Structure 1
Amino acid sequence: MKAKHIQHLYNRVGFGITPNELERLSNKNKREIIDEVFTNSSKTSPLKADISFLKDIKPGDLKIKEKRQELQKISRKKIQKFSISWMERILNPSEVFREKMTLFWANHFVSESRNNILFTQNYNNLLRENAFGNFRDFTKKISKDASMLGYLNNKQNRKKSPNENFARELMELFTLGQGNYTETDIKESARAFTGYSHNFRGKFLMRKRHHDENEKTFFKKTGNFNGDNIIDIILEQQQCARFISEKIYRFFVNENINKEHVAAMTAVFYKDYDIEKLMRFVLQSNWFYDDENIGTKIKSPMEFLAGIHQVIPYQFERPKQALLMQRLLGQTLLRPPNVAGWKTGRNWIDTNTMVRRLRLASILLNNAAITYSDTGDEETMLTDLTTKKLKRKTFIKTKTDWNAFEKNYKKIDNKGMISLIISSQINKGTAQMLSDNLDIPKKDFCVQLMSIPEYQLC
């Protein structure tokens, strides 16, 4: 397998690859390398939060306003810490592909619980545990998840006053895509999901007295359907397999859909909705490694931060600055912009984020200053982080492991680093600038490489 194809594979299933790992894998064939990718992510390591403060809480405590507000305040702080922990996991993953898939599913089955760390933890680990599982089972579990029940108001969905929010998003965003169902389908499926609830610890409960036991007609089928039945009927539609295949193609292959490739993916996925089988098919397909798919995907903020870390490991001296970095780059973990999630591709970059991205390597590796607006959401975030007067710039303090960099790139000169760090085509002007600077120290040249526009792509 060619080196550039191995690099491409690891850029997409993870966040890059070191020269030593690239050399180790260079003597293996494609199937062996892909098998290793899946083997290394076969187990699941749940991400744990400190929820000891909930140990002695009783349901009645939540009815007391002061007690409830106190618990919510503690939870919000715990959620911030959990966001930092998730980012640290992404930077230092033990199951690389599983963490990449968790990021993908977090922007598909979008949910948020701002005031309950237990629900947040359970939701995040549900994504992680089911990342390579069966999509049918996964969707049914998501429909019963406490975070999702609250986020899309299905906890308020009762037979006397059906709430259609979850039923609508289930089809529009999670399974079929807009225009592939009717308003009647939404109303009827909402009735099937009535009575879905959970206890105060997030365990799913069916409130039978709130569930509509009457017949529903959904996709021209009639019966006394519950939520699981609705999901089964949805998955009978080949459009569901196509919709998920398209989203996976955009995330892992190319923002521009190739209908022939997606049709092949759909045929594989529709058989049994096995996510791992679908991903193996994608990674083993020759078209995955076509030049048109290499170095053409704009990195998300998390991919960008993790990519730099893969080359030169770093750690924030003040962990809360990880939250600041997420916000300034436009992707705050556990805080999606809306139920549709983050818009990807070119949407990751605007005037502000582009400047920050081009300076990011210097900011993280040289403890440089970063500037930001003192208005809007950033002010809210920064006020949460410090009680000091808001300033227009701050210094990001990191501990940088240059020893690991020197070890990994010991055999690589500056010219050799270019192809190892940049996967996209380099324009003539940038190529000349790099050529003119081949004699500068290796550390400086590496930072320079990660500061050029071409590094935005993978």
Structure 2
Amino acid sequence: MSDINKIKHLYARAGFGLGFADLKQVQNLTIGQAIDRVFQASAAVKPLTPIASYLDSNNVAKGDKMAKQQFLQEERQQQVQLNVGWIEKMSTDDSQLREKMTLFWHNHFACRTRSPWYSQQLNNIHRANALGDFKVMLTQVSQSPAMLQFLNNQLNKKDHPNENFARELMELFTVGRGNYTEQDVKESARAFTGWGYNNLGNFVARDGIHDTGQKTFLGKTGNFTGDDIITMLLERKETAQFICTKLYKYLVNEKPNAANINAMADVFYTSNYNIQKVLSFVFKSDWFYNDSNTGNLIKAPVDLIVGLNRQFYVKYNNPSVLMQFERTLGQVLFNPPNVAGWPGGQNWIDSSLLMYRLKTPSILLNNGIIDFSGKPDPEDEVFLAGNAKRSTTASAQAQTVAGWDKFLADIPAGTSKTQIAQTLLSPKLNTYVMAVVNRANDVKGMVSELVSTPEYQLY
């Protein structure tokens, strides 16, 4: 594979795709230089901050229906602001790798909370540590009000331990199922008693309700705290293996390769869980660029939307419509289906979802009309359909403006239609795609047709 094709693959997996404007900047680089460029662009941490104020439900007078209604409305507005704010950040920020990995950790530490402030706080923990120290991130996530609330650790008290957080910490965040016992769950829960948060959203270790007794966890006995449990879980190489398996499926191939994953786990474990080092190892490995590992992953809905936004400079006259696209395609940011997150892969596609996915690019690029099916929130229907009638379908104009002039101007003079198709699509050009290319009378029409093919759904 040539360096330019490797760079294209790198940007597809370590970001949200390589646009023609990006291509001009990297086309003369070696793959090693391109990898360095990707990390350098994501070195700085720029927090997501569309939510400027914390809404405290404790200030809402009990029995005051109007005050409660106003609070819920403000909370809903903040949820939309947060969602749209992150989409815009992913669509415009140069820190593609940091945002791509923030999206990975957003799903690894899947969490739902009604508080947009807590959601933003947790998202910025993922972002700050996305390329850093996994132990620091794991500890901060475990102490975040969003996660403490979601997994009920606020209710975890001595003599009445709540096991929810302790169980998911092992099953989904670290060693994985089969590498601990039910007794380990019980003992771990005791160690996390007292971990909670105050009304300001700050972590507090409430000593008065912490179990100070001896605990036996993973074969060791002592007066363990939550920090001790986290340390012991990271001492188990199963944690590195579990996380690297998920990383491999996210960045390389849905079908795990034991040898490659073991090599990743060795790097992750011996580097004391340095995320950047394991990512660098992946991007510099020859197997990352094998034909079997290119153009083979199904884009998540957010990847699809953000990739279109970046490539075609899409602007939204009504940014709130983004959430309805997410809902229709099956991935609403900050609202995973459960604590295990979105399963991804083939689960992104069924007969109805594929239809919408194939329509989405042309709708966004040509300000089309789309019927949003499923069960949209009533408030979504208000701004989408223009009325408050509750239904299972809402038709709306996308209200988008694609930067076609800028996109076309980015294409270097002399670029053939085939080369344009090769830049837009990750899989090798097949007979059907070449037929689209060969019959095209103009570039804009060809591009609109190419991004509506099943091949565009892969990267």
TM-score, length of structure 2 as denominator length: 0.94
> How far apart in 1 are the matches of 2:322 and 2:177?
35
Closer, same or farther in 2 for the Cα pair 1:20/1:51, shift >3 Å? closer
Structure 2 residue identity aligned to 1:326: E
Could you tell me whether the CA contact under 8 Å between 2:381 and 2:394 is conserved in 1? no
Structure 2 residue identity aligned to 1:437: R
Shift of 1:69: 6.5
Structure 1 residue identity aligned to 2:417: N
Could you tell me whether the CA contact under 8 Å between 2:51 and 2:117 is conserved in 1? no
Unaligned stretches of 5+ residues in structure 2: none
Unaligned stretches of 5+ residues in structure 1: none
Structure 1 residue identity aligned to 2:59: D
| Aligned twin of 1:45 | 46
| Aligned twin of 1:132 | 131
| Aligned twin of 1:61 | 59
| Aligned twin of 1:431 | 433
Structure 1 residue identity aligned to 2:418: K
Shift of 1:369: 1.4
| Aligned twin of 2:194 | 195
Off by >6 Å, runs of 4+ in structure 1: none
Could you tell me whether the CA contact under 8 Å between 1:6 and 1:22 is conserved in 2? no
Could you tell me whether the CA contact under 8 Å between 1:363 and 1:396 is conserved in 2? yes
1:6-63 Cα distance to aligned partner (Å, 9 max, x none): 1000000111112343243232222221111111100111111343465xx6x96367
| Aligned twin of 1:250 | 249
Alignment of 1:166-185 (within 5 A): 166-185=165-184
Q: Does 1:7 align with 2:5?
A: no
> How far apart in 2 are the matches of 1:322 and 1:110?
20
Structure 1 residue identity aligned to 2:32: R
> How far apart in 1 are the matches of 2:314 and 2:127?
24
Shift of 1:432: 4.7
1:341-390 Cα distance to aligned partner (Å, 9 max, x none): 001111011122111111112101111111233x5356674357654445
| Aligned twin of 2:327 | 327
Closer, same or farther in 2 for the Cα pair 1:322/1:442, shift >3 Å? same
RMSD: 1.9
Could you tell me whether the CA contact under 8 Å between 1:328 and 1:378 is conserved in 2? no
Closer, same or farther in 2 for the Cα pair 1:437/1:309, shift >3 Å? farther
Shift of 1:303: 0.8
Could you tell me whether the CA contact under 8 Å between 2:51 and 2:81 is conserved in 1? no
> How far apart in 1 are the matches of 2:438 and 2:34?
37
| Aligned twin of 1:421 | 424
SS, match of residue 107 in structure 1? helix
Could you tell me whether the CA contact under 8 Å between 1:265 and 1:282 is conserved in 2? yes
| Aligned twin of 1:148 | 147
Could you tell me whether the CA contact under 8 Å between 2:421 and 2:450 is conserved in 1? yes
> How far apart in 1 are the matches of 2:285 and 2:406?
34
SS, match of residue 327 in structure 2? helix
> How far apart in 1 are the matches of 2:54 and 2:244?
42
1:399-440 Cα distance to aligned partner (Å, 9 max, x none): 111121012114223222111111113432x135314423x2
Could you tell me whether the CA contact under 8 Å between 1:118 and 1:201 is conserved in 2? no
| Aligned twin of 2:307 | 307
Q: Does 1:318 align with 2:318?
A: yes
Closer, same or farther in 2 for the Cα pair 1:119/1:68, shift >3 Å? farther
Aligned length: 451
Q: Does 1:16 align with 2:6?
A: no
Alignment of 1:103-142 (within 5 A): 103-114=103-114, 116-142=115-141
> How far apart in 1 are the matches of 2:21 and 2:58?
57
Could you tell me whether the CA contact under 8 Å between 2:422 and 2:428 is conserved in 1? no
Structure 2 residue identity aligned to 1:146: P
Q: Does 1:283 align with 2:296?
A: no
> How far apart in 2 are the matches of 1:121 and 1:96?
19
Shift of 1:453: 0.8
Structure 1 residue identity aligned to 2:177: Q
SS, match of residue 3 in structure 1? helix
> How far apart in 1 are the matches of 2:213 and 2:316?
56
What's the % identity of the aligned pairs?
Answer: 39
> How far apart in 2 are the matches of 1:24 and 1:93?
16
Q: Does 1:456 align with 2:457?
A: yes
SS, match of residue 371 in structure 1? strand
SS, match of residue 197 in structure 1? strand
TM-score, length of structure 1 as denominator length: 0.94
> How far apart in 1 are the matches of 2:382 and 2:348?
24
SS, match of residue 180 in structure 1? coil
> How far apart in 1 are the matches of 2:213 and 2:229?
14
> How far apart in 2 are the matches of 1:43 and 1:117?
24
Closer, same or farther in 2 for the Cα pair 1:73/1:368, shift >3 Å? closer
> How far apart in 2 are the matches of 1:243 and 1:358?
33
Structure 1 residue identity aligned to 2:17: G
